[in-house]
A = this chain, B = another copy of it.
Amino acid sequence: MNETIPPRDANTRPSTLDDVARRAGVSLGTASKALNGRDRVSDATRARVEDAARALAYVGNPLARGLSQGLSGTVGLLTSDLEGRFSLPILMGAEDRFGAGRVSVFLCDARGDAIREQHYISALLARRVDAIMVVGSKTDHRAPIGRDLPVPVIYVYTPSQDPRDLSLTPDNVAGGRMAIEHLLASGRRHIAHLTGPRHERAAADRTRGIAQVLAESETQLMFETAYGEWTERWGRSSCAMMLEQGTKVDAILCDSDQIARGALDALRERGIRVPDDVAVIGFDNWDIIVEGTHPPLTSIDMNLGLLGRHAAERLFHAIGGAPLASGIELSDCRLVVRGSTALTI
């Protein structure tokens, strides 16, 4: 158990800057400067050092560099809910951008547990990450992870409650507008709105966006919002109830693809044709659902991958020394039209 790990032999051991310096016949310090282009070094020696480095397949040791220099070349990605379908795309976008910039990302999934989160935050800070990205799975605002942290922090999807922090989140108000406008534009006038829990911001925001459009709308129309859950089950049951009550409807605006899927199911069970009799639009543009339904589901895409990429971009600059902005920045949604609203003429 307590055996010491055998030292790696010289041909296995990665070569150090010292090896390079020795081979190039210069001092350690000079080799460092030459390789980093930091200080004044003659072209001749620089070339010599670079050759040596190449010959030895030298790769700097980030640990050592980090220790002496203070920057680790790593960032922390702190997610509260990896399993949910919102964190992942954001995380992928961010990872993509960081990877391209030779920054490595530490993944931390707090699983919605505050204690765990605290633990991860200290771990990240202890590791001297250069920045932290906090990703949530709801658009409700959250408590900031700390004040006066020694590194830049950005909040994605879930904005920070502190307006001094920088947060990036989808513009759900505009998303709601986009959805209702699409339905109105395709001639629908009797619209039901199935959304998630009343107290959740995403539901509220979209409802607000919809209301804005309705307020401006000239045409006579019927509209009603039902709050519930984000689930397929709720989509099915609420839609069924509505139909049972004989409500006249020619479009259903669902605030998640899962709700929409449930609604589609309920409609079909009653022989109601989509989109001929009723148009259905969802939210999230979740491929697995949107392409699996019958007909394929029109949906609003929050461009989460892009959001993650942007966030990474911002952190990049902040690490470079630029001050991070403050406040909540909203990002655009995108309408993806599919069979569930497109009338086959």
Contact = CB atoms under 8 A, between A and B. Distances in A.
B120 A99 contact: yes
B150 A127 contact: no
For the complex of A and B, the 4 pairs showing the least CB-CB separation, nearest first, are A232-B292, A107-B107, A59-B126, A63-B66
B59 A63 contact: no
Interface in A67-106: 67, 70, 72, 74, 77, 82-83, 88, 91-92, 95-96, 99, 102, 104-106
B63 A127 contact: yes
Contact of A92 (B14, B109, B262): B109
A92 B83 contact: yes
Looking at A106, A107, A294, the one whose CB has the most chain B CB atoms below 10 A away is A107
A169 to B, nearest CB: 22
A8 B151 CA distance: 11
A127 B104 contact: yes
Looking at A82, A106, A292, the one whose CB has the most chain B CB atoms below 10 A away is A292
A104 B107 CA distance: 8
11 contacts: A1-B320, A3-B321, A12-B150, A63-B128, A77-B107, A96-B109, A104-B108, A106-B107, A231-B292, A236-B294, A258-B292
Interface in A102-124: 102, 104-109, 116, 119-120, 122-124
A302 to B, nearest CB: 16
Contacts of A232: 292
Given A105-B106, A258-B288, 12 more contacts: A3-B321, A14-B126, A14-B150, A63-B67, A82-B95, A88-B88, A95-B107, A95-B109, A104-B124, A107-B107, A231-B292, A261-B292
Interface in A123-137: 123-128
B321 A5 contact: yes
A44 interface: no
B59 A122 contact: yes
Contacts of A127: 62-63, 104
A171 interface: no
A255 interface: no
Contacts of A63: 63, 66-67, 72, 127-128
Looking at A63, A116, A258, A321, the one whose CB has the most chain B CB atoms below 10 A away is A63
Given A107-B95, A107-B107, A292-B231, A62 B128 contact: yes
A60 interface: yes
Contacts of A233: 291-292
A294 B321 contact: no
A141 B123 CA distance: 35
A64 interface: yes
A225 interface: no
Contact of A126 (B1, B60, B109, B124): B60
A8 B71 CA distance: 13
A250 interface: no
A109 B107 CA distance: 12
